[in-house]
Amino acid sequence: MKIEVKTLDEMSAREWCRLVQERIKVFVVEQHCPYQEVDADDYHALHLQLQTDQGQLVGYTRIYQRADGQISFGRVLVPMQYRKHHYGRRLIQETIAVAQEHFPGEPIQIQAQAYLQKFYESFGFRPISAVYLEDNIPHLDMVLKGED
């Protein structure tokens, strides 16, 4: 496995298209959720890819600083054919490490799909909101405290 972290400007058009294609497949088609998948956060995000040694995408996240200054990550995905292999754990471990490297000491706040609450709690995230609907999918806000 290898990890690649790039800004949008560092990616080739082909790399970006491959990521967007996978994001739309998961978040729009698979989850039946029509929404603006590519947004302004993509321009300044760090795009993290977990890949096989042969370059196959097995996981993706984007890490960014929100307009309110909070550090966050999202668009967490593992393509369907790679699920059940525990790549999600490795993906989140790497995402947290990269976020902490680029934003040392800062808490990380995420909007997690509610069914993944226990998964994120296993990394130290704690809920800070009640469950709410985001694009008709139950979510909750969670935070991982920064190191002092």
CATH of the domain at 80: 3.40.630.30
Q: In a 3-state reduction of DSSP, which class is residue 85?
A: coil
Residue 110: its pLDDT value, please?
Answer: 97
**Tokens standing for residue 109:** 């706040």
Q: 119 lies in a domain? A: no
* Domain region containing 9: 2-103
110 falls within a domain: no
- pLDDT at res. 33: 84
CB 52 within 8 A of CB 59: no
Task: Indicate whether 139 belongs to any domain.
Answer: no
Q: Is the pTM of this model over 0.95?
A: no
Query: 40 in a domain, yes or no?
Result: yes
Any domain includes 72: yes
Both tokens of 29, joined, read 């088609």
How many domains in the chain?
Answer: 1
Mean pLDDT by 10 residues, the chain (148 residues): 96 95 92 86 97 94 94 95 91 97 96 96 97 92 85
Element holding 94 (H helix, E strand): helix 87-102
User: Beta partners for 77?
Assistant: 60
User: Smallest Cα–Cα separation from 108: which of 136, 47, 66, 53?
Assistant: 66
Pick the closest to residue 75 from 37, 21, 128 (CA basis).
37
Q: Return the pLDDT at 148.
A: 55
